[in-house]
Amino acid sequence: QTAVDYSNAFCLENATGTVRFNAFLGGPDNGNTVSLGTTGNMPIALYTNNANRVFILGNGNVGIGTDNPTYKLSVNGNVRSKEVVVESIWADYVFDKNYKLKSLNEVEQFIEEHNHLPGIPSAKEIQQYGLNVGELQTKMMEKIEELTLYIIDLKKQIDSIQQPVCTSKNKNHE
């Protein structure tokens, strides 16, 4: 980290000098940085109408609409975005030869007992704990890939049934 030169900073300190708020131009980008910050582990709050709107904790967690952000970004409200990129593992492991694909009977039994797909959180779990978008995307892709394997297997079964039927029809027409 680059040491900060506070010589041209606008500074506010509390009476004991233990908390300092700085606003200055400068920094590592040839003086092209506007910086606001505290010198200690104190949070920064931006507020309007006498209520916190943005809250930055000393650990870097940012809250919008909350003053207790427990993630790098915690938002208490709706979020609208053009794009969200989630980095996560992907479900191609389903196509691995050692992958244990449940039988359709096992899946049916699980659904009858639990009212949701195996490996997918229930509505109650989502309401209680929220939704991990990256994890659920992976789980949904896992289910799509499993469905693809079931369809391929069903196609093979249909083909094996149709072949004797077609052969039998050909013999009857001779």
Report phi then psi at 38, rounded to 5.
-115, 155
Give burial (CB, 10 Å; 0-12/13-18/19+) of 95.
Answer: exposed
- pLDDT tens across 52-82, in order? 899 999 999 999 999 999 999 999 999 999 9
pLDDT band at 29 (very low <50, low <70, confident <90, very high): low
Q: Over the stretch 70-114, which tens digit does the pLDDT of each residue have?
A: 999 999 999 999 998 988 889 999 999 999 999 999 999 999 999
Of residues 39 and 3, more confidence is placed in 39
pTM value is 0.65
Report the phi/psi class of residue 119: left, alpha or beta, with left for phi > 0 and alpha for psi in -120 to 50.
left
Task: Report pLDDT for 1.
Answer: 46
Q: What is the DSSP string of 102-135?
A: PPHHHHHHHHHHHSS-TTS--HHHHHHH---HHH
